[in-house]
Structure 1
């Protein structure tokens, strides 16, 4: 039986590397199959509004199919990582062993088949010669050094093999045959983290989400195989990076959505810190979002949804684009206001759909339009907690994230410069104002404030935009008018603020997206780069002058 020493000398890392390549190929093939399944099978069937018991059974089966594909994809990528890591470490140990052997031979030492370093036979004369004794003593020292090198190489090889064995033992190959088990996708995500830990790998370099251009450059520097590996093994980090292509962020965040939803569906709340009510609320919000995404997977390109951000903690945050902003001729970012949570996202998608349709009509259908619902900040609650809606704290806290997102949108577009409009509604206008006023602004071509209580500033010029491209509107009976200008900045409807007031013909605080309304049409015109219908700015009332005098 060959010793570890002989096995390591003969080790061929190409066997493991070829196996890793095959596993990566499987992961890639399954990834493509999953995308096709969503766009050509599940999506179209959901779009047809198929219902009934047969539909329920079919959709459950389709969902199970997608779960299997996702698990196989992630675990295959993890297997490839483990095999490549072991191959590299074994090859390094082999190289170190061969170097030790060559060094020992250079010193006149021999190595047995079991890795034992031996001294040469000493002659009778040398045994009784002072110089010979000194040389022998030096050689003994060198023998000890050579043995240490050999032992270290063998130990490193065994450690690499053992860690690889432990890592691979965590991955389960029975997903294709075992009955449906909720929590399997989430378990796979945990397995990946454990695999990296078992292998002793440091966290892979992924840029902090601070500079969209640096994030984009990092992504472009990766090979397709590396990109696929990061997507499969670290989707939670990749999906949050502003500046990456929308298709990449969507793919990563959908995988995160599936894993988080699967963990919640398993009913395992251990360590979550959630109450039973909070647990069910979060599960319901994620489920509604997934169903809305699934429904539009079979739509035409301009109606495709892209999940650009997801954070289920607390009330939850999400960023969803209707149409690809990377290739759109006109892009709008819609920032919602008070009371908006992750659970509100399906309703927000309905609003951005109305805005997109209106913008397409305004442009006579000649241009591509993408509208994004950006809930990337913690919107105040209803009723307001800690008077959050009365102050600018929530807006200021989300300002940098909003600036980073619009900058990342530009970066992802590259040389294709889309006309960018940022629209805020209610407290969302306060968030837009705080973001636009800080740093270098939002880089928007137009800013729209709908039903604004104030934008943290006293005039449009402080929003880093030409006031002629600032638009504001509110319904006469919108209660927001009663508090506008009190605590969140000056009322942008008034003449002294600057900009333009657009025609509003709807009622209340939520009617601005009513079908066939001028309120909606004017927002669509601005998104499409067309002039909206305007009305004169309001004159401020002098509080020192009594009415009628």
Structure 2
């Protein structure tokens, strides 16, 4: 005990905390380096450099970015361990100091090895009951102090042992392998194991129920704490509506890397997935990552932000072109039937076109962000497309997302437009009609089979700012007015009908079309061209001609 007693008395947490700060700086540097590499090296080369040499180079560059992410997570984990051990050791030292202070107050001698003695007695009188009682009291006090010293030393040893085990998991050999799939996933597992080694309870992270509460919690953290949460708990941070979009993007990118790495490692045990499902999930995430990578070299206005990711099942993803927190105009496009993460590249192409169209329509210099919101389980082409169940199931999530956009933009208020396509209009209708609505300035229904409500006035938006349009030959007309509500392009619905000049169910984003231009005008806060919506019988198709 003597060595531990002396060491704990002299313990100074400053050394461990300085080391932790060094690891935290390394973690931040790795994150910054990864961002610079993505935006200034890898991103600009994507789409311009092709061939075998390019494939080999991109493989190596992706490996470099993965290693930087591993350094980021491992270094942040090391900082967590060192700070935790420093705090616990410092508390043990404080407890020891308090015990020694009690010993001094009670005149109990403490030897150099931490053994507590009794004060000397002059001439003990065995027949003096008062002397015996006093001595017994001193023995009790001595035992109390000794127990406190033992407890402080035990706590210090436990903290030291836990820290040693946790740090032992964080070895540089994870970077020594040239390209072994599973390293990023292994690093993510290290975080969980380190927390177990330290006996840490799960940190408090708000449930994703109130974007304003989440934002206030985030702002209450120090920059160091924010860095720690983003690196060590990316899945929880990435899904919190109300947090800055750039923070969610960093967290979700890390989740994407870790998920892909685990899938590429090929370990499907315990996943509950078949081999085909395992392969499909990997393919879906790979397609999404490649699309994100292609835009890493773009300017801030056209850079993609990954605002949400859920790889389970067919997958869910929320991607923005431009930053909705700072844009003058923001649109949210909600896709319809059959849309999964696999189709996200096509959805990104659509939001690109909407962004360009809105910039052309609006005043020069105003910025536009457009979000593809696949935050619900879009129905397959089956009977589920004729029922409102999937729309209602995603309604609260959509309301929380758009409410989160209002929170994350702060004092800067963006003009917000929500656009639904096909069954996506049903989802928009269910969300807008419930709770406090979508907090949108304009709502657009493109090729709607019905919006689960019978009047625009129910959507928490000025009916003069509700717009609907359907192509004359769009087969969605076969479903409109049947089970999902009346045709919103008709006057009885209470909104306005925009001019549509494209053909079919997927042509609404054709270049140089009035269909696309009208959506761009609405996003930019301008007036689109409309047609008379007071003609035709219920269920009739507006020609747009």
Counterpart position of 1:130: 129
Root-mean-square deviation (Å) = 1.3
Hey, what does 2:414 align to over in structure 1? Answer: 418
Q: How does 1:241-256 map to 2 (within 5 A)?
A: 241-256=240-255
Match of 1:508 in 2: 504
Find the partner of 1:536 among 528, 532, 537.
Answer: 532
Q: Which residue of 1 aligns with 2:31?
A: 31
Q: Distance in 2 between matches of 1:281 and 1:496?
A: 44
| 1:296-341 alpha-carbon deviations (Å, 9 max, x no partner) | 0101221100000000001100000001111111100000001000
Q: Which residue of 2 aligns with 1:547?
A: none
Contact between 1:185 and 1:258, CA under 8 Å: does it hold in 2? yes
Aligned residue for 2:147? 148
CA contact (8 A) 2:208 2:240 kept: yes
Equivalent residues in 2 for 1:135-534, closer than 5 Å: 135-363=134-362, 365-382=364-381, 384=382, 387-534=383-530
| d(CA) in 2 for partners of 1:539, 1:282 | 47
**Mind listing any 5+ residue stretches in structure 2 that lack a counterpart?**
540-545
Encode CA deviations 1:162-194: one digit per residue, 9 max, x unaligned: 111111111121234222110100110111011
**2:50 corresponds to 1:66:** no
Instruction: Measure the CA separation in 2 of the matches of 1:226 and 1:115.
Output: 37
The 10-residue stretch of structure 1 (128-137 or 289-298) with the greater mean CA deviation from structure 2:
128-137
Residues 232-256 of structure 1 show CA distances to partners (whole Å, capped at 9, x for unaligned) of 1011111111111111110110010
Higher mean C-alpha deviation, range 271-280 or range 171-180? 171-180
Matched, 1:76 2:75: yes
Give a deviation string over 1:207-253, Cα, whole Å, max 9, x none.
11111111111111111111111111011111111111111110110
How much has 1:538 moved relative to structure 2?
4.7
User: Does the 8 Å CA contact 1:47/1:299 hold for their aligned counterparts?
Assistant: no
Give the CA deviation at 1:10.
Answer: 0.8
Q: CA deviation at 1:504?
A: 0.7
Q: Distance in 2 between the 1:540 and 1:210 partners?
A: 43
Please name the residue that 2:543 is paired with. none
TM-score, structure 1 as length reference: 0.96
SS of the aligned residue for 1:229 comes to helix
**Deviation string for 1:132-166 (max 9, x for gaps)?**
11111111111111111111111111111111111
Deviation at 1:539, TM superposition (A): 3.5
The answer as to whether partners of 1:302 and 1:370 remain within 8 angstroms in 2 is yes
- Aligned equivalent of 1:546: none
Aligned length: 539
- Taking the aligned partners of 1:60 and 1:252, their CA distance within structure 2 comes to 22
Deviation at 1:120, TM superposition (A): 2.4
Distance 2:215 2:475 in 1: 43
Q: Using the TM superposition, name which of 116-125 and 321-330 deviates more.
A: 116-125
SS of alignment partner, residue 113 of structure 1: coil
User: What secondary structure does 1:82 align onto?
Assistant: helix
Partner of 1:488, secondary structure, is coil
Mapped contact 2:448–2:488 kept (Cα < 8 A) = yes
TM-superposed CA distance for 1:542, in Å, is 7.6
Other structure's SS at 1:3 match: helix
> Is the 8 Å Cα contact of residues 2 and 114 (structure 2) preserved in structure 1?
no
**1:15 aligns to what?**
15
CA contact (8 A) 1:437 1:464 kept: yes
Deviation at 1:452? 0.3
The CA deviation at 1:364 is 5.3
For residue 110 of structure 1, give the secondary structure of its aligned residue in structure 2. coil
CA distance in 2, matches of 1:30, 1:381: 41
Q: Tell me the distance in 1 between the aligned counterparts of 2:526 and 2:536.
A: 29
Q: Within 2, Cα distance between the matches of 1:125 and 1:448? A: 97
Shift of 1:100: 0.6
Structure 2 CA distance, aligned partners of 1:128 and 1:180? Answer: 83
Distance of aligned partners of 1:126 and 1:490 in 2 relative to their CA distance in 1, 3 Å threshold = farther
2:132 is equivalent to residue 101 of structure 1: no
Larger mean Cα displacement after TM superposition, 514-523 or 112-121: 112-121
SS in 2 for 1:118: coil
Q: 2: CA distance between counterparts of 1:465 and 1:542?
A: 23
Q: Distance in 1 between matches of 2:493 and 2:517?
A: 24
Structure 1, residues 348-379: CA drift from partner, whole Å, max 9, x if none?
Answer: 00011111111111125431111100001111
Kept in 1: contact 2:166–2:197 (CA 8 A)? yes
Question: What is the rounded CA distance, in whole Å, between the counterparts of 2:124 and 2:224 in structure 1?
Answer: 64
Report the CA distance between 1:284 and its aligned residue. 0.7
CA distance in 2, matches of 1:167, 1:480: 58
